[in-house]
Amino acid sequence: MRNTAILAVVLAMAGNAGAAGFRLSEQDAKATGMGNSFVAVADNASAAWYNPAAIIGLEGTNLSLGSAMVAPSMSHQNEVLSTSVDNIENTLHIPPHFYATRKLNQKYSVGLSVNVPFGLSTDWDSASNTREIATKSEIQAIYTNLNGVYKVNDALSVAAGASYVSLDATMNKKVEFGTTNVEQTLEGDGTGVGFNVAGIYKWNK
């Protein structure tokens, strides 16, 4: 009982990194509707992203394609001139997600996820009060993740996978040289690979 209480306290202390507001946790309609409390449920193809070990419970072939539309709104009020308010340009973001799972037999399954867990932008006017901090900031990160799942027994399943990540980023701002403002543009792109493991244990029926 004491160990369970300690574990509960540790889990409650876990924080949520929002990555400066660019993180997109909405990667499936059902998971979003459940407040992303989906890891232990994961009963559709999006389990390939939320908990790959859970796809062993899906029969046959499952496909899912969708998007979460995001329309951010943000304003900035000048501390000195309280009447001066800047707003970002209205932009509709439509980051896609695709999931596929296949049950090979009673012991093995595979799952594929392609999504954009980071992919928003903010665009301030070049004359705004924020111009020397940021005028345009944009991140697009495409994750491609492939997993294999093994059913150890009726209660325990484990998964292991690899990810390929492609990222593009833009961070612009104004730099003042005397009475002249010059737009400074910083752009970058890159790729990377990563690995993941997952598990699911069914305590009872």
pLDDT tens digits for the chain (205 residues)?
666 666 666 555 555 554 455 678 888 888 888 777 788 887 899 999 999 999 999 999 999 999 888 887 877 777 766 667 888 888 888 889 999 999 999 999 999 999 998 888 888 877 777 777 777 888 889 999 999 999 999 999 999 999 999 999 888 888 877 777 788 888 899 999 999 999 999 888 7
Asked if residue 143 belongs to a domain, the reply is yes
Does residue 14 belong to any structural domain of this protein?
A: no
- Asked if residue 42 is part of any domain, the answer here is yes
How many CB atoms neighbour CB 136 within 10 A? 17
CB-side exposure of 120: number of CA atoms within 13 Å? Answer: 21
In a domain, 11, yes or no: no
Q: How many domains is the chain partitioned into structurally?
A: 1
User: Which residues span the domain enclosing 159?
Assistant: 20-201
Report yes or no on whether pTM surpasses 0.85: no
Q: For residue 66, tell me if it sits in a domain.
A: yes
Whether residue 10 is contained in a domain is answered as no
Distance, CA of 70 to CA of 29 (rounded, Å):
13
Predicted confidence at residue 118, as pLDDT, reads 86
Residue 4 lies in a domain: no
Residue 68 within a domain: yes
Q: What is the pLDDT of residue 146?
A: 97
Which is it for strands 96-103 and 61-67: parallel, antiparallel or unpaired?
A: antiparallel
For 193, other C-beta atoms within 10 Å of its C-beta total 8
Give the CATH number of the domain where residue 62 resides: 2.40.160.60
